[in-house]
Amino acid sequence: MDLKAAIRTIPDYPIAGIMFRDITTLLGDAKAFRQCVDALVAPFADQKIDKVAGIEARGFILGGAVAHQLSAGFIPLRKKGKLPHKTIAVEYALEYGVDSLEMHLDGCGAGERVLLIDDLIATGGTAVAALQLLRQAGAEVPAAAFVVDLPDLGGADKLRALNIDVSTLVSFGGH
């Protein structure tokens, strides 16, 4: 199955000029979803992964499935104020302003090997913040995996420059 064909493109969302890559169509197709999760897991099946960290919100769906397949725990990385227990946070720059990403203080421990998962890598701002957050907690992050790469925006290259092995399943040119 062609995973790229299972992803819906919505022009001019959320603003004019953006081609939004919507994976909900892929998630809704049982065969595509299974193939996607299997493909995300494959590069790490023979590695020791203690936990999978998923970035809110689609990273939760994918990360939970990947964690299950790898027999690993799951760490939710959320926007500020969404987690009920003590948290650690990292602020990161957006095009207009600042945002924050949090995880529970006990989400992972020093030396744990954590795989970072999300649906899409674009500019890399959120993924780099997630990496900083996990490293702040003492985790070793050997790799990050994404369904979609927008290589023209350079996010995957930013992670590679930080010594992260990046795997993606499909790529789309442009924004």
Q: Strand, helix or coil at 119?
A: strand
**Cβ–Cβ under 8 Å, residues 35 and 1:** yes
CA distance 38 to 119: 14
β-partners of residue 79 are 101
Query: Count of residues for the chain?
Result: 175
With H, G, I as helix, E, B as strand and everything else as coil, classify residue 21: strand
Instruction: Please indicate whether residue 78 is annotated as part of the active site.
Output: no
* Annotation marks residue 8 as catalytic: no
- Alpha-carbon gap, residue 89 to 38, rounded angstroms: 31
* Catalytic choice (58, 78, 102, 112): 58
**β-pair type (140-149, 165-171):** parallel
Catalytic residues: 58, 95
